[in-house]
């Protein structure tokens, strides 16, 4: 039986979700990455007015863009001000993660109904083990892949995805990019030389900018270049583990299984500001944002069934320096007020004289609610104390506003 793994990647996911909400924007260059002030405005006649990139001021970063915007050179992770120079007439919309998560759940449920062995890789992509799906061996997965595409389209009310089906995860992730958008690509071992080897080395998941630059210094620019290199030479110059992996990956070998579940190590929330904020002069705004992040993090913990014993903060300053601080609690919690106070304690250990570009809150040392409740339930004790606010008294942090629940 031939192993068949699919990689399903939603097409311009965030942007496509917004086009479902605002169908009058179809065919236009649209960028996702604005803030609250960039919400569309409904006019009296029922039409909408939209913010344009040309009018943007700030230091935001693009989350994603439609294919029309990409044709103008506007891509994710690009600064919004830079994008405005390339596509001044592009529409700018705010990010709405709650809406994206809703559609993410819809498309994943539709996939699992047809092929239940699924590895979740984020809000817009998954791996699917098709090997044991009835009939899949007859056509190398083409029919089931098309069924999955149709199911996703129907479940989401019109969103498209691209699917690559190959013998392993590494090749399938590459294949899902070949015919975007709305693509379906099947690759076998015989396609390695013609479809994979001509690709730039950086296209392979696992070859980052540093490794790509080092490979290029040795005139190894494509996957085929790496495949032709002596494996002992690769180990000598890139180390035992990574050198061996480069050789295997360039020859299309990848034995990783599709992992249907793994416990998260941490859960976090963060935001990049449209303008740099100062801990004193922008105290009220920072306090509001900080509180919202803590409330959102508490909601994420509750929704996913976890509690945390380590709360941390992440800050990026105007010089791009990143600082993190953590605090261990006397008991696990998913209480927003407790998280807010603990994160505030972390802030007291940071020099806040420079202006801030980014602020984040993280929950680590996670335990499932079942793990926390079961031992106490078995002993007949009250299960709630493990999740209540710890007895330690936290003083209110800098740029504070009222903690949630206060």
Residue 125: active-site member: yes
Pair of tokens at residue 82: 């830079």
**DSSP labels for 333-371?**
E--HHHHHHHHHHHHTTS---S-EEEEEEEEEEEEEHHH
Residue 381, burial from CB neighbour count under 10 angstroms (0-12, 13-18, 19+): exposed
| Residue with tokens 């942090």, as numbered in its chain | 397
Cα–Cα separations (whole angstroms), residue 342 to 229, 266, 351: 52, 16, 17
Rounded to the nearest 10°, the torsion over CA 303, 304, 309, 314 is: -80
Catalytic residue among 125, 274, 345, 389: 125
Pair of tokens at residue 59: 């230091």
Q: Using an 8 Å Cβ cutoff, are 335 and 295 in contact?
A: no
Nearest to 367 by CA among 267, 261, 259: 267
Q: Using an 8 Å Cβ cutoff, are 39 and 95 in contact?
A: no
Count CB atoms within 10 A of the CB of residue 15.
Answer: 22
Q: Using an 8 Å Cβ cutoff, are 399 and 279 in contact?
A: yes
Residue 258, burial from CB neighbour count under 10 angstroms (0-12, 13-18, 19+): middle
CA distance 336 to 345: 14
CA distance 175 to 168: 11
| Residue with tokens 């990848």, as numbered in its chain | 254
Provide the annotated active-site residues: 125
């Amino acid at each position: 039986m031939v192993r068949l793994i699919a990689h399903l990647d939603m097409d311009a996911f965030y942007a496509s979700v917004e086009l479902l909400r605002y169908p009058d924007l179809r065919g236009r260059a649209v960028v996702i990455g604005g803030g609250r002030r960039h919400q569309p405005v409904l006019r009296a006649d029922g039409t909408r007015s939209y913010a344009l990139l040309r009018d943007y001021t700030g230091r935001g970063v693009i989350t994603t863009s439609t294919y029309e915007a990409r044709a103008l050179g506007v891509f994710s992770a690009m600064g919004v001000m830079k994008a405005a120079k390339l596509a001044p007439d592009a529409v700018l919309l705010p990010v709405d993660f709650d809406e994206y998560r809703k559609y993410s759940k819809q498309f994943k449920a539709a996939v699992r109904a047809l092929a239940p062995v699924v590895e979740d890789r984020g809000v817009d992509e998954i791996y699917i083990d098709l090997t044991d799906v009835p009939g899949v061996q007859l056509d190398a997965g083409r029919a089931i892949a098309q069924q999955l595409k149709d199911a996703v389209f129907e479940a989401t009310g019109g969103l498209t995805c691209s699917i690559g089906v190959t013998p392993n995860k590494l090749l399938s992730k590459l294949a899902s990019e070949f015919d975007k958008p709305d693509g379906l690509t099947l690759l076998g071992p015989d396609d390695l030389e013609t479809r994979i080897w001509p690709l730039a080395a950086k296209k392979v998941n696992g070859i980052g900018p540093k490794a790509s630059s080092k490979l290029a210094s040795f005139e190894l620019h494509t996957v085929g270049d790496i495949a032709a290199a002596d494996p002992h030479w690769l180990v000598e110059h890139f180390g035992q583990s990574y050198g061996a992996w480069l050789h295997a990956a360039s020859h299309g070998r990848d034995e990783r299984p599709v992992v249907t579940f793994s416990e998260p190590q941490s859960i976090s929330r963060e935001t990049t500001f449209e303008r740099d904020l100062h801990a004193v002069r922008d105290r009220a705004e920072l306090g509001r944002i900080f509180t919202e992040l803590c409330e959102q993090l508490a909601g994420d913990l509750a929704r996913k069934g976890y509690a945390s014993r380590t709360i941390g903060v992440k800050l990026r300053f105007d010089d791009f320096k990143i600082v993190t601080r953590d605090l261990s609690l006397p008991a696990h919690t998913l209480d927003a007020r407790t998280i807010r106070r603990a994160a505030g304690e972390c802030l007291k250990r940071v020099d806040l004289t420079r202006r801030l570009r980014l602020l984040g809150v993280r929950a680590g040392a996670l335990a499932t609610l079942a793990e926390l409740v079961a031992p106490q339930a078995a002993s007949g004790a009250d299960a709630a104390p493990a999740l209540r606010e710890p007895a330690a008294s936290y003083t209110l942090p800098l740029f504070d506003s009222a903690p949630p629940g206060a």
